[in-house]
Amino acid sequence: MEKPRLPDTPFWVEPESVDPHRLKLTPDESHHLLHVHRAKPGTPFEAIDGNGILYECVLESVERRAAVGRIVGRREGAGELPRPIEMIVGLPEWRGVEQVVEHAVPLGVTSLDFASCERSVRGALGPQRVARLIRIARAALKQSRRTRLPSITSSRTVQAALGVLGSGERFMADPAGTPFTAGAIGAPQAPIQLAVGPPGGFSDAERRILLDGGFSPISMGPSRLTTETAALALVSVARNSM
Amino acid sequence: MEKPRLPDTPFWVEPESVDPHRLKLTPDESHHLLHVHRAKPGTPFEAIDGNGILYECVLESVERRAAVGRIVGRREGAGELPRPIEMIVGLPEWRGVEQVVEHAVPLGVTSLDFASCERSVRGALGPQRVARLIRIARAALKQSRRTRLPSITSSRTVQAALGVLGSGERFMADPAGTPFTAGAIGAPQAPIQLAVGPPGGFSDAERRILLDGGFSPISMGPSRLTTETAALALVSVARNSM
């Protein structure tokens, strides 16, 4: 008989289904563990609830089709970068939004705010769109073996996006900027906060708001990048400088 | 009457349609210039032929529906990085291949070789697939205002991909590596050569071939990245260190 392949991707568990010693997977995830991976009592697996902990578990029982795991280990911050990366992305078309979530979550962003800008062709994303992005983010979190689910929001304006941001070290993609250098990042604990304009770029007024808010302009090189490519490149260089 | 918006993206011209003083756009591009942008004799536009020069032109005439431009300026290497970036990407599924081309071309890669690896689920891409990728690359080149069309190929094996590579400074994404630092790049003229494994990673034998070929292992951080995300992140940090 072929041996079932052990899962190398953690399973999702809702935070309210985790107690100090046991956790119970969602029905979907239970099905995957029990039927795709053919887990039996005693089979080890991993689970995440999006709060920054990787739970090492052993399958204990199945209660009404839900897999119950005994928690045998906890790894705090597994898969996470040493610092938060918070990002404001000027709202592009929908396909671009999905691509940013798909790639930026594995790269370690801790928050993404798709802000509707003066040059965005549409207003802020509604709750259904945001819910869909959160599902994409959750799948990306599991695949990338991260443990902390990023916040995903969509502000009505750049000013509104800035209003909900705490303090941090701030950088914006800007044709008039200087290249990003590792030395640009100082305080080792503060969040890194990044901003990238929508297709067509930030308006002069938006750019002024960001500069006044302390965002240092960073050049993204000699070619012209789309919003989504610039977002991924900026996260990549920021994470590499930690 | 509304003023036609002047094109801010260069038009494509086949290299054989460029002579020292004039160039003639393809029928598609001519249609775009003449009918979408409603250009008249005297209207300025830019054109690229993929050989590293941005041609500044003025529309001179229309010959059998083809726009003929007088060349009034040439910008050598416009939109190009100071050094070539040559990349071997372990062949992922098709959607991943398209995403790599779509983002890596604006970021400045000069060659992409999608090598079929031991863990790739399919063999090397056929000529029709490669032709489609070249069309995507051409569109990305124009949008990003680069001027040198990257080479796109698909080798049968990692060894074959290495066989056609010239000399350069070599880095591979590898979980056992160290972070990429700007200091890692020495000789200012040599191409930077990057390698990223297919889904599931390079096999031990492939990894050994790359290490023996002088590729330094580079860590891509604490999370697990897909082939396409890793490729974009590695290009991003390499280009930022020039």
Instruction: Residue A78: list chain B partners with CB under 8 A.
Output: 222
Residue pair A213/B209 in contact (Cβ under 8 Å)? The answer is no
Domains and CATH numbers, chain B: 11-76 (2.40.240.20), 85-240 (3.40.1280.10)
pLDDT digits (tens, 9 = 90+) for A43-93: 999 999 999 999 999 999 999 899 999 999 999 999 999 999 999 999 999
Contact A232 B232 (CB under 8 A): yes
Residue pair B234/B196 in contact (Cβ under 8 Å)? The answer is yes
Distance (Å, whole) CA B169 – CA B187: 8
Q: Average of pLDDT values for B21-46?
A: 94
Q: Average of pLDDT values for A188-200?
A: 93
Average pLDDT, chain B: 94
- Three-state DSSP state, B106: coil
More confident residue, A182 or B116: B116
H-assigned helices in chain A:
27-31, 94-107, 127-144, 158-163, 204-212, 227-240
* Nearest CB to A106 within list B146, B225, B239: B225
Contact A221 B143 (CB under 8 A): no
Pairing of strands A216-218, A169-178: parallel
Instruction: Residue A221: list chain B partners with CB under 8 A.
Output: 81, 107-108, 239-240
Pairing of strands A66-76, A53-63: antiparallel
Residue A237 Cα, gap to closest chain B Cα (Å) = 5
- Three-state DSSP state, A118: coil
At residue A1, the pLDDT reads: 43
* Nearest CB to A225 within list B81, B144, B223: B144
Q: Average of pLDDT values for A99-104?
A: 98
pLDDT digits (tens, 9 = 90+) for B191-204: 999 999 999 999 99
Percent of chain B with pLDDT over 90: 88
Which are the contacts of B35, defined by CB distance < 8 A and separation ≥ 6?
none
At residue B179, the pLDDT reads: 86
Q: Say if residue A177's pLDDT is above 90.
A: yes
Contact B225 A181 (CB under 8 A): no
- Three-state DSSP state, A67: strand
Backbone dihedral region for residue B200 (phi beyond 0: left; psi -120 to 50: alpha; all else: beta): left
Q: Say if residue B78's pLDDT is above 50.
A: yes
Mutate to test the interface with A, among B229, B232, B237 (most CBs of A within 10 A): B229
- pLDDT-based confidence at residue A5 (cuts at 50, 70, 90): low
Number of residues that this document lists for chain B: 242
Place of tokens 């940090």: B237
**DSSP single-letter state for residue A36:** I
Q: Average of pLDDT values for B173-183?
A: 85
Instruction: Residue B228: list chain A partners with CB under 8 A.
Output: 103
Tokens encoding A207:
């750019």
Buried b vs exposed e over B82-98: b needs ≥16 C-beta within 10 Å? ebbbbbbbbbbeeebbb
Closest CA to B144 of B81, B71, B96, B234: B81
Percent of chain A with pLDDT over 70: 95
Q: Say if residue B136's pLDDT is above 90.
A: yes
* Nearest CB to A145 within list B146, B223, B240: B223
Place of tokens 């509104």: A160
Closest CA to A108 of A75, A50, A149: A149
